Amino acid sequence: MIVEGKSLVKKYSEHQGLLDASFTLSEGRIIALAGGNGAGKSTLIRLLIGEEQPNGGELHWASVPSIRYMPDDVNFPPALTAEEILQLLGSLKKESAKEREKVLKRVGLWDFRKQRVSQFSKGMRQRLNLAQSLLGKEQLLIMDEPTNGLDILWIAELKQILQEQKEQGKTVLFSTHLLSFAEELADDILLIHNGRVLMNGAIQDVLSETSCEHLEELFMQKIGLDKAAKR
């Protein structure tokens, strides 16, 4: 266990972010934080990275949180090059030039390292965002909708990169609204709907407890039961 959430509540003036959300995230796993728009995924991520505090409930970390973070979008300084941005961020994380080179090559931006970010496509900016999240040795990598702006090739590469992180003993939590993508890539699922946790655990265990073959089918079944209960 890397972190446990107990009855987390997060309220905003205009909506409910999380309502009595309890879950456990296991170490050394790829975990999909899944749910539709407004489900509470980004709210939970902000609580995990310490950007916001819950109105109720608690987060219990197994040790002092050691986190790398990939937001859903970053407004990099447009006048800087990819090389300059990673040099700045790398110096903050005390990463060597060799490591920065390795990361830029891994995300396919080494040949564009001298190019200003203002000239980057959306997909290239997202890959630079991915690159900065790969810098550092923190145990937990949290990614908010990492597929945003990526084409088919780089979504496939992203899958490989996350598997590489797992092989290095890291824990990865990524948010997505695509249950098919979550099922294909992740070991575990944390599915949120309307601020509540619907499923949490190993995907195969979650599915084996039901007659459903896929997460999408199980999700629709649970939503149907929830709607019926509220009538």
- Domain total of the chain: 2
Q: Is residue 193 part of a domain?
A: yes
What is the enclosing helix (H) or strand (E) of 48? helix 41-48
In a shared domain, residues 147 and 194? yes
In a shared domain, residues 146 and 222? yes
Q: Is residue 43 part of a domain?
A: yes
In a shared domain, residues 198 and 92? no
Residues 47 and 64 sit within 8 Å (Cβ to Cβ): no
In a shared domain, residues 146 and 199? yes
In a shared domain, residues 86 and 158? no
Residue ending a domain, choose from 137, 156, 183 = 137
Find, among 37, 61, 63, 26, the residue nearest to 47 by Cα: 61
Q: Is residue 92 part of a domain?
A: yes
In a shared domain, residues 62 and 146? yes
Mean pLDDT of all residues belonging to the chain:
93
Question: Does residue 200 have a pLDDT over 60?
Answer: yes
Local confidence band at 143 (pLDDT 50, 70, 90 cut-offs): very high
Q: Is residue 71 part of a domain?
A: no
Q: What is the pLDDT of residues 61-97, one digit of tens each?
A: 999 999 999 999 899 999 999 999 999 999 998 999 9
In a shared domain, residues 25 and 60? yes
In a shared domain, residues 150 and 163? yes
In a shared domain, residues 173 and 117? no
Residue ending a domain, choose from 137, 153, 173 = 137
Burial of 25 (0-12, 13-18, 19+ CB in 10 A): buried
Q: What angle do CA 170, 53, 166 make, to 5 degrees?
A: 10
In a shared domain, residues 133 and 149? no
In a shared domain, residues 3 and 93? no
pTM for the full predicted model: 0.93
The pLDDT value given to residue 13: 83
Residue ending a domain, choose from 103, 137, 171 = 137
- Distance (Å, rounded) from C-alpha 86 to C-alpha 97? 9
In a shared domain, residues 146 and 177? yes
Residue 106: give the domain boundaries.
76-137
The CATH number of residue 175's host domain is 3.40.50.300
